[in-house]
């Protein structure tokens, strides 16, 4: 992941956020919250990652990717105090590479790393502390309150799903033990408070008016029809991988109801799947992002965790199901190898064009530069899923022209 990120050039928002000063990270985040984007933590993480150049950002990306996988291993009980289950670890790793929506815009695009990967690590770490509390109560209270606030102030659909999962876990605990643990309750309340700050952001309202003009004038029915159409268009455009993953979740859910209802993690798996479905379905009523794969990262990770919780650690005595499970993991591993190998090759096509463009801009002595458009084929493992091209009109403040203006201190337009 470090090498892959290191070979990936900056793109659009990366240029705008590059070389941010550490001392100004918080104040710039507050300015975003008030004027352009309510995701203050995601924006701050992005600036931090990009503050010290390409090598530092690539190290951060690799560290966050490793952290995400390790948290998924513990959250799905693939690693416990007594057991390290290798097939489950392989299955989770392969599915992250194979099924992550818009992989490139989450793990390779540095603005996506800050806003989505870093936030996913914080959100899942918070759930891990809720799901597996630590023994030190004081430290547990401090961590769940702090991480809960960050998780609630994350991404609108994922943060809402995190709060839903916490609420359901608290309800399950109360029904089983007739009491509610204090640490998870404090964490849930902290997440709710962070979520309120996110929803009330003035910057988000300003961004909505600029990016989706006329949305507020639509009727409720028109908004719903628009959201459903965009939701369906997105999932049909990602066929067949999205269908394969959704089918796997449904199959595991049905099999678990038939054979594994006595599994100790059965209800937890259902709760995580409910959260994942809610995180995806709420995008139907979202004014923007419905057709952007990166907005479904949280939904995917929650569904993946729920699906793995439904599968028992030990399938001894169920030879047919165990054979099917191991065969499925083997086939996915082979598919993953070829998909990623091909994706890395295709990502170089876009990367090389961006590097050539930046080199041309830096060599040019003119203050106003016209460049050729970038040509690429959409690929899950490249920057294409988040790429926005320069505009032709001479408007240096239009996106992403303003990013080039800030980074190169020159006006750059398409020929």
Domain that holds residue 180: 63-319
Residues in the chain: 415
- Are residues 360 and 302 part of one domain? no
Specify if 48 maps to a domain. no
Specify if 166 maps to a domain. yes
Q: Total structural domains in the chain?
A: 2
Specify if 26 maps to a domain. no
Sign of the torsion formed by the C-alpha atoms of 269, 275, 277 and 279: negative
Rg, Å, the chain Cα set? 22
The 3-state DSSP class for residue 24 equals: helix
- Are residues 284 and 370 part of one domain? no
Long-range contacts at 202-210 (CB < 8 A, ≥ 24 apart)? 202/33, 202/34, 202/35, 202/38, 203/32, 203/33, 203/34, 203/35, 203/36, 203/37, 203/38, 204/37, 204/38, 206/35, 206/36, 207/36, 207/37, 207/38, 208/287, 208/288
| The pLDDT of residue 112 | 95
By DSSP bridging, strand 411-414 and strand 368-371 are parallel
- Are residues 245 and 353 part of one domain? no
Provide the residue-wise pLDDT of the chain in tens; the chain has 415 residues: 999 999 999 999 999 999 788 888 888 888 989 888 889 999 999 999 999 999 999 999 999 999 999 999 999 999 988 889 999 999 999 999 999 999 999 999 999 999 999 999 999 999 999 988 888 889 999 999 999 999 999 998 999 999 999 999 999 999 998 998 999 999 999 999 999 999 999 988 887 777 777 777 788 888 889 899 999 888 888 878 888 999 999 999 999 998 888 888 999 999 999 999 999 999 998 888 888 889 999 999 999 999 999 998 887 777 888 899 899 999 999 999 999 999 999 899 999 999 999 999 999 989 899 999 999 888 899 999 899 999 887 777 888 999 999 999 999 999 8
Q: Cα–Cα distances in Å, from 366 out to 58, 292, 354? A: 31, 36, 19
What is the Cα 44 distance to its own chain's centre?
A: 16
Among residues 304, 319, 334, which one ends one of the domains?
319
- Are residues 273 and 356 part of one domain? no
Could you list the beta-strand ranges (E) of 219-282: none
DSSP letter assigned to residue 114: I
- Are residues 410 and 283 part of one domain? no
| The pLDDT of residue 411 | 92
- Which pTM does this prediction carry? 0.94
- Are residues 159 and 227 part of one domain? yes
- Are residues 294 and 179 part of one domain? yes
Specify if 303 maps to a domain. yes
| The pLDDT of residue 289 | 83
CA dihedral (210, 212, 216, 219) in degrees, to 10, reads 170
- Are residues 390 and 272 part of one domain? no
Q: At what angle do helices 241-259 and 266-281 cross, to 10 degrees?
A: 150
The 3-state DSSP class for residue 21 equals: coil
Specify if 49 maps to a domain. no
| The pLDDT of residue 239 | 77
| The pLDDT of residue 303 | 97
Specify if 214 maps to a domain. yes
166, 160 in Cβ contact below 8 A?
no
Sequence-ordered list of residues with C-beta below 8 angstroms from that of 58, at least 6 positions apart, any chain: 2, 3, 5, 6
Specify if 339 maps to a domain. no
- Are residues 365 and 276 part of one domain? no
Name the β-bridge partners of 250.
none
Residue position matching structure tokens 């959704």: 246
Specify if 216 maps to a domain. yes
- Are residues 362 and 298 part of one domain? no
Among residues 266, 301, 319, which one ends one of the domains?
319
How many other C-beta atoms can be found within 10 angstroms of the C-beta atom of residue 243?
A: 12
Residue 74, token pair as written in the block? 């513990």
- Are residues 352 and 253 part of one domain? no
- Are residues 236 and 109 part of one domain? yes
């Amino acid at each position: 992941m470090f090498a892959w990120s290191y070979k990936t050039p900056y793109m659009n928002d990366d240029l705008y956020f590059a070389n941010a000063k550490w001392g100004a990270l918080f104040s710039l985040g507050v300015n975003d919250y008030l004027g352009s984007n309510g995701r203050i933590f995601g924006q701050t993480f992005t600036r931090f990652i990009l503050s010290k150049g390409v090598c530092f950002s690539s190290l951060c990306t690799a560290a966050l990717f490793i952290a995400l996988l390790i948290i998924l291993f513990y959250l799905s009980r693939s690693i416990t105090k007594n057991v390290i289950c290798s097939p489950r670890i392989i299955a989770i790793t392969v599915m992250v590479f194979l099924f992550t929506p818009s992989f490139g815009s989450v793990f390779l695009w540095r603005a996506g790393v800050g806003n989505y990967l870093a936030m996913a690590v914080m959100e899942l770490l918070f759930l891990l502390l809720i799901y597996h509390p630590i023994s030190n109560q004081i430290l547990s209270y401090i961590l769940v309150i702090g991480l809960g606030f960050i998780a609630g102030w994350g991404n609108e659909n994922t943060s809402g799903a995190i709060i839903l999962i916490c609420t359901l876990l608290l309800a399950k605990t109360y029904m089983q033990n007739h009491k509610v643990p204090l640490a998870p309750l404090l964490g849930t309340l902290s997440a709710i408070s962070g979520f309120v700050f996110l929803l009330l952001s003035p910057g988000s309202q300003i961004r909505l008016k600029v990016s989706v003009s006329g949305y507020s004038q639509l009727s409720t029915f028109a908004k719903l029809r628009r959201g459903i159409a965009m939701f369906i268009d997105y999932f049909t455009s990602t066929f067949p991988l999205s269908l394969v993953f959704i089918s796997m979740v449904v199959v595991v859910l049905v099999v678990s109801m038939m054979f594994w209802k006595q599994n100790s993690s059965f209800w937890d798996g259902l709760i995580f799947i409910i959260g994942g479905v809610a995180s995806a379905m709420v995008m139907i009523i979202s004014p923007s992002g419905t057709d952007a794969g990166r907005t479904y990262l949280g939904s995917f990770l929650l569904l993946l965790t729920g699906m793995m919780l439904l599968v028992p650690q030990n399938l001894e005595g169920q030879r047919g199901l165990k054979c099917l499970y191991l065969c499925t993991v083997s086939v996915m591993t082979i598919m993953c190898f070829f998909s990623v190998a091909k994706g890395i090759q295709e990502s170089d096509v876009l990367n090389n064009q961006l590097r050539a463009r930046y080199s041309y801009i830096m060599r040019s002595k003119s203050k106003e530069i016209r460049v050729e458009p970038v040509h690429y084929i959409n690929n899950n493992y490249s920057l294409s899923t988040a790429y926005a091209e320069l505009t032709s009109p001479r408007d240096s403040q239009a996106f992403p022209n303003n990013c080039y203006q800030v980074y190169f201190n020159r006006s750059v337009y398409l020929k």
